[in-house]
Amino acid sequence: MTNDPGPDREQLEREVYRKVVTIRFAELRIRDHVEKEGFGGFWHPGIGQEGLQVGAVSAMQDDDYLYYAHRGLGYAFAKGMPLEPLFGDLLGRASGSTRGKGGGTVHFADASRHVLGQGGTLGSSFVMGAGTAAASQLLGDGRVTVVFFGDGASGRGTWHEAALQASVWKLPVVWICENNGWALSARFTEQSPTEHVADRAPAYGMPGVIVDGQDAMAVHDATAEAIDRARRGEGPTLIEAKTLRIRGHYEGDRQPYRDDPVLGDEIPNDPVHRLGESIPDDVRRGIDAEARTQVEQAFDAALAAPRADRSVIFEDVWA
Amino acid sequence: MTTTPVTTGTTGATDRVIGYSRAINEALAEEMRRDERVWMMGQDIGRLGGVFGLTRGLQEEFGPMRVRDTAINETFIVGGAAGAALAGTIPVVELQFADFLFTAADEIFHKLAKWRYMHGGQFTLPVVVRLPSGVVGGAGAEHSQSLETIAMHVPGLKVAVPATPSDAKGLLKAAIRDPDPVLFFEHKGLYRVKGPVPESDEHVVPFGSARVARAGNDLTVVATGLMVDRALAAAEQLAPQGIDVEVIDPRTLVPLDIDTIVASVERTHRLMVVHEASRTAGFGAEIATQVQERAFFSLDAPVWRVCGTDTPLPQDPELEQACIPSTDEIVAAARALAAI
Amino acid sequence: MAHVLMPRLGVSVTEGTVSAWLKQVGDPVEVGEPICEVATDKVDTEIESTVAGVLTEQLYAVDEVVEVGAPLATVATADDAAAPAAPAAPAAPAAPAPPAAPEPTPSIVPDPASYGDEPDAAPAAPPADAAPPADDGRYAVVMPRLGVSVTEGTVSTWLKQVGDPVELGEPICEVATDKVDTEIESTVAGVLAEQRHAEGDVVLVGEPLALVTPDGALPSASAAAPPPPVAQPAPTSTAVPVAAAPAPSAPPAVPAGPTVPGAPAELRPGPFDHTAAVERLLATVARAGRPVAAPSARRLAADLGVDLAGLTGTGGGGHVTRADVQRAAERPPAAAAAPAAPAASVAPPAPAAAPAAPEPTGHPMGSDGLPLGYEDVPYDAVPTSRIRRVTAEHMTRSRRTAAHMTTEVDVDLGLLTDVRARLNAHRATQGRGKLSFLPFVARATCAALLEHPDLNATFETERLLRWGEINLGIAVDTPRGLMVPVLRGAERMTVETLGEGITDLAARLRDGKPGPDDFRAGTFTISNPGSVGAVSAPAIINQPQVAILGMPTIQRRPWVVRLADGQETIAIRPILRLALTFDHRALDGADATRCLVDIGRRLETWDVDDYR
């Protein structure tokens, strides 16, 4: 990947913009729904972090594997999952990708697009991602596994076990830390002895890259480089995308613990604006309108879809 | 589920006498030859061939990529196996001791058991976790447990508990071919035991088929693993005392061939479950409950349990043996039960 | 003046019914002393006073329903008592007690003016350095006992702040103990005047948690407080046994939490004793008070139409086995034969269970007098004899009356065989007939009964009549039916007298010339179904006796014997399985078995002379 402007680059930026702005509309639509209607699970908003999610995933090939994190839908949408099954999962509808099993925001999956899902216990994707990469290495299929996680999950012991083994085996895996500064109520600065998560990378013998998480294209480029390295068989890379948690841990979290100046509406360094700067207004407005319509239609469709039948309870326990 | 006990999955095969360890090693080698997607990882399984020697020679044959030595990292061994299964391979991993399933508990009970379910059935996780289990002589409280009941309690995991070389091989081959995650509890105390094993690449013992290890008319004893031999020895002692014992080895606890057990109890009218695991809430309790739900009016006496003590296992080998059922205890319990 | 509130006696309990008052108006009450009994749908319990003083009012009559949190009784505390007792006190006559805070009246919301600043705080009472104003029983909300073994709790959160209005029963703080986390409800209405402990503090049961005063002012600082200003005995009042007293010897306060009946389960690691477990289990058979049968026997009984209540169980502890049911089903409903014998003297030979009188077959009857469904089965109607009918009645009555249980022992009759042969040989030289085994067993039995008098007895619930002589009934199978003549004073007889007595009786029965005394006053019976080949001999007790010895046939069985050198070997021995059926109402299995073992021991060890 290069940073050279050119027709490909421009097309990529527009595509990233389109996905970021779509996810932004989705975020706002979901927030509106949760505020007005509430819903059964917890919605962990990813607003403000869409840029890094879409930017990173846009650097993946179609058959690369994705383990997403719990903040928002940007990862999966960027990997090609349609909105309706994502909203369906969120709303516990039979039309969800998990047919009502996942619910909330934690679980969605698309085997055909290699969106492999997420564990409810944060940090489980470290070891699973390393394992998926080990399988790719064994099969020689040339695929790379990308694992997203938050600064909170960086404290899990699974990180140590996975990072160590992945590095020793030079597994084709890329770890992307969305450091938004807060693990629920815990400040990153109070939970880390080093300033950056990426500071830990050298101990595992892998590169640690820090990137501005609000700059989608910068994240894209860093990810593309890490993926290339992984595909070449040179092992894992840890990317730390610096971002900011705009909302609470979940929508409705009043954040009494929070002492940094975040209003929950204003998004400093908003990735939507940054990406939009280079796009002509009329083009951008067209993309926006299309994205908004797409979100509204998908959300309405999800709302209209039936809830899962109880019969699904006994399905999928066994193969 | 069949009520007919299945001894082997093949007919006409010639039996050889080989050890339980050798049988497991053969199953691994044969399945890796049969299917290139099968691979292994674990601590000391490659260069050393496993601390119990189970994987000896496999790295030489299949290379370091398919027989991989890991660091001491059980969450990776199991969680990585789950992830590798999602990418289309069939990992057969070893935790050095079954007790270590607690160090990989999230990976076993959440990732292996639930990933398919949580994600709407989009994935299968054909993973086998081999778990050297049970009392072996002085291994101590954290290296000697029988944890199969814990595995039974979490839906999504199949559980095998082979007691003979033939079943060790046949069940392991079935486990590797199974699309679901299997916890494979090998009994360390049986590794050196020898027995007839059919000479066949297709010796596969289907899950959910109990084996009648000894036929009898007066008392049904259900036992697994090391306890099968002890139950058989007890049966021989009880026979001249007029107590004709039928010994049933379920071979897999998930799925559990309760039909064979119930059919036996309907003939003998008495049931005793023997397990090495602690008494409280062991699989004996589950079998007792299911049998009385199905065959209460066949019972002449309460369902009885002979179990390990509700204590951690002491390291001293003699004390340790006193904590698990002996042949003598099975005999004594059967005699006491006969008074009812 | 303070209230004792209806405590919450269980998570889901919202009310209770006063079942009795234990303290009357005017009675002094201590903290922790029961004042009344309350019944809820979960528990019946005594309500302990949360304050010390004198009971001045029972606010509910017996059988009235009280809601949780409502005041049950009013208690005048030491301070209240002081007031009327000191009429000289200026304010006393005006309002001795009632206005003192805790009335759950509308005055919950305090006048905002009454707290904050204290314009007319009594100058007499120095605000800060005064002795802790606290231990004023009227206002204290004390730490209740939250469980039988709970002695303290930790304040986790204050739910009411100083100045907050507090209602009776309203939670004021949360307390955590090692057993429960719970909210503490106020026992006083008013305004929270003081939190006596900070969050995180450990508070002993009975110690004050908070003060709630009518106006939120600390008592000693508040001249406006309704109680007389004489309320100055602050320092001394701590010595009064008010609820506040944290003295270790003070009785535990307040049953505010549920009282758990019975001891909690304990962890008891230990080896599992299979034999003891089986014995414990079998002991429950006798205690069950109903026919106990294995599940399989129950189903078989249902299938075969056998009434379990009529069966003698031969299983462990006397429970009914499948074999028992099978035997009962195979026994033809009408069997034996003929003539008459005085009623009370009939006893059974074998494990009998013939149903009798009102419901003769236990099967629905058709209009033609045949069992339903048997109309097309050829039959022959044989009239029953009187003795049959008497036996039938007697058997069912005995089964209904006594708690039958049978204990059995195997007796090696090798020595007795030899003894009997020698004695009979000797008798032959004198021209006398041979003795069967029966008189030997009878002789040993009489000897044993003398040492176990409870088996030679009659049970009358309130008393057990131990008979002073052994009148030994011998069940005899006669052509006319079962008869049980009695050998009077059998304990005084030798084996030979017994043998001849039995022979005489049998002859008289066969000749049909028994006298009425021949059947009267039996105290113990021996039944001998072995004479017709039975291999086990449980029996039905011959009322009003409490036990019957069954003597089956002697079987030659492989038997482990100890040789002179201490080695063991298997030999063929004549074995008699004696069965003692006894009334479990009158005695226990161990007693009966000891007697039976005693009989067996004599039979195995006695020489010729011992039987004389």
% of chain B with per-residue pLDDT over 70: 96
Residue C97 has pLDDT above 50, yes or no: no
pLDDT value at residue C132: 41
Q: Which of A92, A271, A81, A71 minimizes the C-alpha distance to A182? A: A71
> Would you place residue C249 in the very low, low, confident or very high pLDDT band (cuts 50, 70, 90)?
very low
Residue C124 has pLDDT above 60, yes or no: no
E strands, C354-495, are 404-412, 457-459, 464-466, 472-474, 476-478, 481-483, 486-487
Residue C136 has pLDDT above 70, yes or no: no
Nearest to C274 among B300, B309, B333 (CB): B333
Residue C106 has pLDDT above 50, yes or no: no
**C298/B297 touch (CB, cutoff 8 Å), yes or no:** yes
Q: Which of B97, B88, B86, B92 minimizes the C-alpha distance to B67? A: B92
Q: With beta carbons less than 8 A apart as the criterion, state whether A228 and A208 touch.
A: no
Mean pLDDT across A173-199 = 95
> Would you place residue C120 in the very low, low, confident or very high pLDDT band (cuts 50, 70, 90)?
very low
- For residue C300 the two structure tokens come to 């078989």
Mean pLDDT across C492-502 = 90
pLDDT value at residue C406: 92
Candidate ranges A253-262, B202-211, C292-301, C475-484; pick with highest mean pLDDT: B202-211
Q: With beta carbons less than 8 A apart as the criterion, state whether A40 and A92 touch.
A: yes
Poorest-pLDDT segment among B50-64, B234-248, C499-513: C499-513
Chain B nearest C-alpha distance from C430 (Å): 47
Collapsing DSSP to helix, strand or coil, B118 comes out as: helix
Enumerate the β-bridge partners of residue C4.
Answer: C73
Q: With beta carbons less than 8 A apart as the criterion, state whether B252 and B160 touch.
A: yes
Collapsing DSSP to helix, strand or coil, A253 comes out as: coil
Residue B252 has pLDDT above 90, yes or no: yes
> CA-CA distance, A170 to A39, in Å (whole number)?
43
Q: With beta carbons less than 8 A apart as the criterion, state whether B51 and B24 touch.
A: no
pLDDT value at residue C351: 35
Pick the CATH number of B17-198 from 3.40.50.970, 3.30.1780.10, 3.40.50.1100, 3.40.50.300: 3.40.50.970
Catalytic residue (choose from B143, B187, B203, B275)? B143
Collapsing DSSP to helix, strand or coil, B15 comes out as: strand
Domains B17-198 and B211-338 share a fold: yes
Write out chain A residues lying below 8 Å of B83, CB-based.
116, 127-135, 145
Poorest-pLDDT segment among B33-47, B199-213, C374-388: C374-388
The dihedral sign for the CA sequence B162, B168, B171, B172: positive
Shortest CA distance from C320: residue in chain B: B300
Residue C400 main-chain phi, psi, to 5 deg: -70, -30
- For residue range B148-201, what is the model confidence (pLDDT) as tens digits? 999 999 999 999 999 999 999 999 999 999 999 999 999 999 999 999 999 999
Shortest CA distance from B268: residue in chain C: C296
Shortest CA distance from B124: residue in chain A: A319
% of chain C with per-residue pLDDT over 70: 75
What amino acid is encoded at C116 in this protein?
G
Pick the CATH number of C394-611 from 3.40.50.300, 3.30.559.10, 3.40.50.2300, 1.10.760.10: 3.30.559.10
C589 touches chain B (CB under 8 A): no
Q: With beta carbons less than 8 A apart as the criterion, state whether C244 and C25 touch.
A: no
Residue A251 has pLDDT above 90, yes or no: no
Residue A130 CB: number of other CB atoms within 10 A?
A: 31
pLDDT value at residue C519: 81
What amino acid is encoded at B324 in this protein?
I
pLDDT value at residue C317: 84
Helix (H) or strand (E) holding A242: strand A237-242
The answer to whether C and B touch (≥3 CB pairs < 8 Å) is yes
Q: With beta carbons less than 8 A apart as the criterion, state whether C447 and C601 touch.
A: no
pLDDT value at residue A266: 86
Q: Which residue has the tokens 């009998």?
A: C352
pLDDT value at residue A98: 92
In chain B, what's the furthest Cα-to-Cα distance? Answer: 60
Pairing, β C476-478 against β C481-483: antiparallel
**B297/C277 touch (CB, cutoff 8 Å), yes or no:** no
Residue B255 CB: number of other CB atoms within 10 A?
A: 15
> CA-CA distance, B214 to B249, in Å (whole number)?
9
Poorest-pLDDT segment among A155-164, C80-89, C409-418: C80-89
pLDDT value at residue B173: 98
% of chain B with per-residue pLDDT over 90: 94
A202 touches chain B (CB under 8 A): no
Q: Which of C481, C505, C594, C477 minimizes the C-alpha distance to C547? A: C594
Mean pLDDT across C129-136 = 43
% of chain C with per-residue pLDDT over 90: 17
Chain B nearest C-alpha distance from C300 (Å): 9
Residue C107 has pLDDT above 50, yes or no: no
**B340/C315 touch (CB, cutoff 8 Å), yes or no:** yes
A314 touches chain B (CB under 8 A): no
Contacts of C44 (CB under 8 A, 6+ apart): C19, C37, C38
- For residue A162 the two structure tokens come to 């996975």
A143 touches chain B (CB under 8 A): yes
> Would you place residue A7 in the very low, low, confident or very high pLDDT band (cuts 50, 70, 90)?
confident
CATH of domain B211-338: 3.40.50.920
Chain B nearest C-alpha distance from C373 (Å): 27
Catalytic residue (choose from C404, C454, C584, C598)? C584
pTM over 0.95: no
Give CA C546 to chain center in angstroms.
24
Return the higher-pLDDT residue of C109 and B95. B95
Specify whether B203 is catalytic. no
pLDDT value at residue C128: 41
Return the higher-pLDDT residue of C33 and A202. A202
Return the higher-pLDDT residue of A293 and C213. A293
Compute the mean pLDDT over every residue in chain B, rounded to the nearest whole number: 94
Catalytic residue (choose from C27, C588, C591, C610)? C588
> CA-CA distance, A86 to A115, in Å (whole number)?
12
Q: Which of B1, B32, B59, B76 to mutate to test the interface with A (most CBs of A within 10 A)?
A: B76
Q: Could you tell me how many CB contacts below 8 A there are between chain A and chain B?
A: 158
pLDDT value at residue C248: 41
The dihedral sign for the CA sequence A54, A59, A61, A67: negative
Angle between the N-to-C axes of helices B74-86 and A124-139, in degrees from 0 to 180, rounded to the nearest 10: 60
Residue C344 has pLDDT above 60, yes or no: no
DSSP C491: G
Chain B stretch 188-247, residues whose beta carbon is closer than 8 A to a beta carbon of chain A: none
Chain C nearest C-alpha distance from B305 (Å): 9
> Would you place residue C534 in the very low, low, confident or very high pLDDT band (cuts 50, 70, 90)?
confident
C277 touches chain B (CB under 8 A): yes
SS (H, E, C) A71-125: CCCHHHHHCCCCHHHHHHHHCCECCCCCCCCCCCCCCCCEHHHCECCCCCCCCHH
Mean pLDDT across C130-140 = 56
Write out chain C residues lying below 8 Å of B267, CB-based.
none
**A98/B107 touch (CB, cutoff 8 Å), yes or no:** no
pLDDT value at residue B66: 98
Q: Which of B43, B86, B159, B180 to mutate to test the interface with A (most CBs of A within 10 A)?
A: B86
pLDDT value at residue C222: 39
**A120/B75 touch (CB, cutoff 8 Å), yes or no:** no
pLDDT value at residue C393: 79
Q: How far apart are the first and last CA of chain A?
A: 41
Q: With beta carbons less than 8 A apart as the criterion, state whether B150 and B240 touch.
A: no
Q: Which of C18, C119, C124 minimizes the C-alpha distance to C72? A: C18
Residue C234 has pLDDT above 80, yes or no: no
With residues binned 3-state (H G I as helix, E B as strand, rest as coil), the percentages for chain B, rounded to 5, are 40, 20, 40
Nearest to A132 among B73, B86, B124 (CB): B86
Residue C565 has pLDDT above 90, yes or no: no
Mean pLDDT across B11-18 = 73
Return the domain boundaries, chain B.
Answer: 17-198, 211-338
**C278/B337 touch (CB, cutoff 8 Å), yes or no:** yes
Angle A113-A116-A121 (CA atoms, 0-180°, nearest 5)? 155
Mean pLDDT across C505-518 = 76
Return the domain boundaries, chain C.
Answer: 2-237, 394-611
Instruction: Calculate the alpha carbon distances from B30 to B36, B179, B182, C127, C146 in Å.
Output: 11, 18, 18, 91, 65
Q: With beta carbons less than 8 A apart as the criterion, state whether B210 and B2 touch.
A: no
> CA-CA distance, B183 to B158, in Å (whole number)?
6
Instruction: Calculate the alpha carbon distances from B330 to B193, B231, C274, C329 in Å.
Output: 21, 7, 9, 35
> Would you place residue C7 in the very low, low, confident or very high pLDDT band (cuts 50, 70, 90)?
confident
pLDDT value at residue C400: 80
Return the domain boundaries, chain A.
Answer: 7-314
Contacts of A169 (CB under 8 A, 6+ apart): A134, A137, A235, B68
Residue B323 has pLDDT above 50, yes or no: yes
Return the higher-pLDDT residue of A199 and C236. A199
Candidate ranges A45-59, C285-299, C522-536; pick with highest mean pLDDT: A45-59
Q: With beta carbons less than 8 A apart as the criterion, state whether A85 and A115 touch.
A: no
Residue C368 has pLDDT above 80, yes or no: no
> Would you place residue C203 in the very low, low, confident or very high pLDDT band (cuts 50, 70, 90)?
confident
What amino acid is encoded at A260 in this protein?
D
Angle between the N-to-C axes of helices A216-231 and A50-57, in degrees from 0 to 180, rounded to the nearest 10: 30
E strands, C337-443, are 404-412
> Would you place residue C477 in the very low, low, confident or very high pLDDT band (cuts 50, 70, 90)?
confident
- For residue range C573-594, what is the model confidence (pLDDT) as tens digits? 999 999 999 999 888 989 999 9
Nearest to B116 among A135, A164, A316 (CB): A316
pLDDT value at residue B30: 98
Q: With beta carbons less than 8 A apart as the criterion, state whether B276 and B309 touch.
A: no
**B73/A165 touch (CB, cutoff 8 Å), yes or no:** yes
Q: Which residue has the tokens 């606890």?
A: B253
Instruction: Calculate the alpha carbon distances from C28 to A76, A78, C23, C24, C251 in Å.
Output: 76, 80, 8, 9, 15
> CA-CA distance, B107 to B127, in Å (whole number)?
12
At the fourth CATH level, which superfamily is domain A7-314? Answer: Thiamin diphosphate (ThDP)-binding fold, Pyr/PP domains (3.40.50.970)
- For residue range B28-40, what is the model confidence (pLDDT) as tens digits? 999 999 999 999 9
- For residue range A14-43, what is the model confidence (pLDDT) as tens digits? 999 999 999 999 999 999 999 898 877 788
Chain A nearest C-alpha distance from B165 (Å): 27
What amino acid is encoded at C295 in this protein?
P
Residue C254 has pLDDT above 60, yes or no: no
Q: How far apart are the first and last CA of chain B?
A: 33
